[in-house]
Amino acid sequence: MAEEIITDAMKKAIGTKTKPVKIEIEKGMIRKFVDSIEDPNPLWQDEAYAKKSRYGGIIAPPGLLMAAEMRGRGLDLPFQLPMGRILDGGGEWEYIKPIKPGDVLTVVDKIHDLRVREGRAGKMLFIVTETTWTNQKGELVARALGTLINY
Amino acid sequence: MAKQVYYEDVKEGKEIPQLAKNPTTMQLVKWAGASGDYYQIHYDKDFAQAAGLPGVIVHGRLKSSFLGQLLSDWVGEGGWVKKIAVQHRGMDFPGEQLTCKGTVTKKYVQGGEHIVELEIWTENPRGEKTAPATATVVLPSRG
């Protein structure tokens, strides 16, 4: 019964990849991000300091990829959400290689899974999306699974 | 920055240094701008209440980012945060302290890497784990 929330069009969307989006990583973008979370680590901001680290320069903190703007299409799903409210259920981020200012990342999103569960607030649709980030050298630098709850 | 932690220094069951965060409505707005998440439940009280929430709530991904900081602070420049898996389970509200905590659950060497697994979480002032998570990091070895 709960399954009727997931329409055929939605089922068909599972596995479909979005058009790749290119995002250039800039120092200012990283600075604005770490300022917002109040993370003073000099590795994210201080070029002279970071130069002496094993990375040889500034790198992005783990949190940067959690930012909505680092996703390709974000909430632009290939189907209409069946219910009115959304919550971010969480995510899983895997960091494979350092991300540095000047990198141009290609971001691809994909609907990984759709599930319906009965919750306190009634039926809840769990939309699991997969995101991959590949740098200008063609190296996969990170991968994530995000869970969006529509209820 | 704290002294570099090494794989050999770590024991299973041991806690890592805590990170206290005090999110304010201003921080939520800063995060909205920096991250590009403009969902109104995080800064518009009327909108949040109309959506059935008691008030504006802290972005789940802001909490996840705090957990990222907890880990990058701990592993230092010599370490690497490999994976973070977070469940945004409970709601948090601006004006309430969030404490990021973690415990080492496992350590092992695999593929030449010195790996440490942890349970990490954000905790509200009532001691509830609002964003339970697991993490995998790589630490440098003295060996």
Q: What is the pLDDT of residues A88-117, one digit of tens each?
A: 999 999 999 999 999 999 999 999 999 999
Beta strands in A7-103 (DSSP E): 21-24, 86-95
Q: d(Cα A43, Cα A32) in Å, to the nearest integer?
A: 14
**Is the model more confident about B8 or about A1?**
B8
Question: Minimal Cα–Cα distance from A84 to chain B, Å?
Answer: 9
Region A71-80: mean pLDDT is 72
Contact B1, A42 (CB under 8 A): yes
If one compares A68 and A135, the residue with the highest pLDDT of the two is A135
Closest CA to B66 of B99, B88, B94: B99
Cross-chain Cβ contact A86/B39 below 8 Å: yes
What is the total count of domains within chain A? 1
Helix (H) or strand (E) holding B27: helix B25-35
Query: Which residue segments constitute the domains of chain B, with CATH numbers given?
Result: 7-23+59-138 (3.10.129.10)
What pLDDT was estimated at residue A75? 57
Chain A residues near residue B1 by CB distance under 8 angstroms:
41-42
Residues 6+ apart with CB under 8 A from A146: A71, A88, A90, A91, A92, A128, A129, A131
C-alpha distances in Å from residue B95, one per residue of A88, B42, B62, B92, B121: 21, 13, 15, 9, 19
The pLDDT score that the predictor gives to residue A3 is 54
Q: Of the candidates B36, B68, B88, which has its C-beta nearest A62's C-beta?
A: B68
Alpha helices in chain A (DSSP H): 8-13, 27-37, 47-51
Closest to B53 in 3D by CA, of B62, B44, B65: B44
Range of the domain at A40: 2-150
Specify the DSSP class assigned to residue A6: S
Using 50, 70 and 90 to split pLDDT, how confident is the model at A87?
confident
Q: Tell me the percentage of chain A whose pLDDT exceeds 90.
A: 72
Expressed in percent and rounded to 5, the helix, strand and coil fractions of chain A are 25, 35, 40
Report yes or no: A85 and A151 within 8 Å, Cβ to Cβ: yes
Q: Best interface-test mutation with A: which of B47, B57, B65 has the largest number of A CBs within 10 A? A: B65
pLDDT(A85) > 90: no
* Choice among A7-11, A120-124, B42-46, B76-80 with the minimum mean pLDDT: A120-124
Q: Strand order of the sheet with strand B19-21?
A: A21-24, A104-119, A122-134, A140-150, A86-95, B80-87, B129-138, B113-123, B98-110, B19-21
Q: Which residues of A touch B122 (CB under 8 A)?
A: none
By the 8 A CB rule, do A64 and A132 touch?
no
Q: Which of A15-19, A25-29, A126-130 has the lowest mean pLDDT?
A: A15-19
* pLDDT for position A74: 56
Cβ under 8 Å to B: A residues 12-51: 32-33, 35-39, 41-43
Share of chain A above pLDDT 70, in %: 95
pTM: 0.94
pLDDT at A73: 60
> What number is the average pLDDT over the span B60-71?
97
pLDDT confidence of A1, banded at 50, 70, 90? Answer: very low
Nearest CA in chain B to A69: B36
CA dist B97 and A50 (Å) reads: 31
Q: Tell me the C-alpha distance between B4 and B20, whole Å.
A: 20
pLDDT in tens, A127-144: 999 999 999 999 999 999
With an 8 Å Cβ cutoff, is A54 touching chain B?
A: yes
**Which residues on chain A are in Cβ contact (under 8 Å) with B36?**
67-69, 74
Q: What percent of chain B has pLDDT over 70?
A: 99
Q: Are A91 and B61 a contacting pair at CB < 8 A?
A: yes
Give residue A48's pLDDT.
Answer: 97
For the ranges A12-16, B66-70, B118-122, the lowest mean pLDDT is seen at A12-16
Mutation target vs A (from B72, B134, B136; most A CBs, 10 A cutoff): B72
Contact A91 B31 (CB under 8 A): no
Tell me which amino acid residue B22 is.
Answer: N
**CA angle at B67 for the pair A119 and B63, rounded to the nearest 5°:** 50
For residue B1, the model assigns a pLDDT of: 56
Q: Of the given ranges (A1-15, B62-76, B87-101), which has the lowest mean pLDDT? A: A1-15
**Average model confidence (pLDDT) for chain A?**
91
Confidence check: pLDDT of B2 > 70: no
pLDDT tens digits, B78-109:
999 999 999 999 999 999 999 999 999 999 99
Q: Which CATH number is A125's domain given?
A: 3.10.129.10
From the CA of A50, how many Å to the nearest CA of chain B? 9
Q: Which residue has the higher pLDDT, A43 or A86?
A: A43
